[in-house]
Structure 1
Amino acid sequence: MKTYKNFEDYFSDFNLEMIEKLERIRIEIKNEIPEVEECIKYAMPTFTLNNKNLVHFAAYKNHIGIYPGPEAIVVFEKELENYKTSKGAIQIPLSSELPLELISKIAVYRKFKILQNTKTTTK
């Protein structure tokens, strides 16, 4: 598995069209949750909050994978019905428009859950 230093290093492995899609996801999440940290985990761009994984994302030959964890997949099941999903993953075909509003909603939900769990564990 290739190792990456940061988002730019990861993005540099792809063509311009893919880089633009990845950047749009990055910008959407950073605009919605400016306090997120960027890092690479599991060889994927990852956003963290309070040292907890918010969401991972990755580029593939035919899709972009979004990895918000299994709970988010269940919570947004209805809105994700047009996408292939598994326990903790969403596949967005490259041939379709990026659902940026939905990605944003999922990221905000994950932020809420992280902050909720942080409050619970610090009491």
Structure 2
Amino acid sequence: MPAPATVEEYLAALPEGARTALEQVRAAVLRGMPGATETIRYGMPAAMLGGRYGLHYAAWKRHAALYPVPVFDGDLEAEVAPHRSGKDAVHLPYGHPVPADLVERVAAAVAARRG
């Protein structure tokens, strides 16, 4: 199977549960990064800010993920910390509601750092 050329192709190739979760992640990322454009980078969807990457998001067997997520200060990091896997990955397990508000705030915080 060829690598997806668009985010829509990437999503269409996913099983239903993963696709539903990643569509929610995608919507939250784009709400948090108004004006971002989307592309496929490193084989996964990415929200780009002015030609620079903002966040990548991907579907895996057991979770959706965001990359790279920097360490934040204060309350936002406290909310993100339970979802961290490694130093810059955030995992969102399937079978749990997608924390869309948290994803949106993470995206906004990343956009503010890139601004």
With normalisation by structure 2, the TM-score equals 0.86
**Structure 2 residue aligned with 1:108:** 108
**What is the CA deviation profile of residues 62-83 of structure 1, one whole-angstrom value per residue up to 9, with x for unaligned ones?**
11111133x2x34443112332
The 2-side partners of 1:92 and 1:109 are apart by 18
Identity of aligned residues (%): 25
Name which structure has the greater RCO, CA cutoff 8 Å, separation 6+: 2
Aligned residues: 113
Where do residues 65-104 of structure 1 align in structure 2 (5 Å cutoff)?
65-69=65-69, 71=70, 73-75=71-73, 76-104=76-104
User: What one-letter code is carried by the residue in structure 1 that aligns with 2:64?
Assistant: I
TM-score by length of 1: 0.81
Larger radius of gyration: 1
Q: Is contact 2:7–2:45 with CA below 8 Å preserved after alignment?
A: yes
Q: What SS does the corresponding residue of 1:91 show, helix, strand or coil?
A: strand
Aligned counterparts, 1:17-56, within 5 A: 17-56=17-56
Q: Which runs of 5+ in 1 are unaligned?
A: 116-123
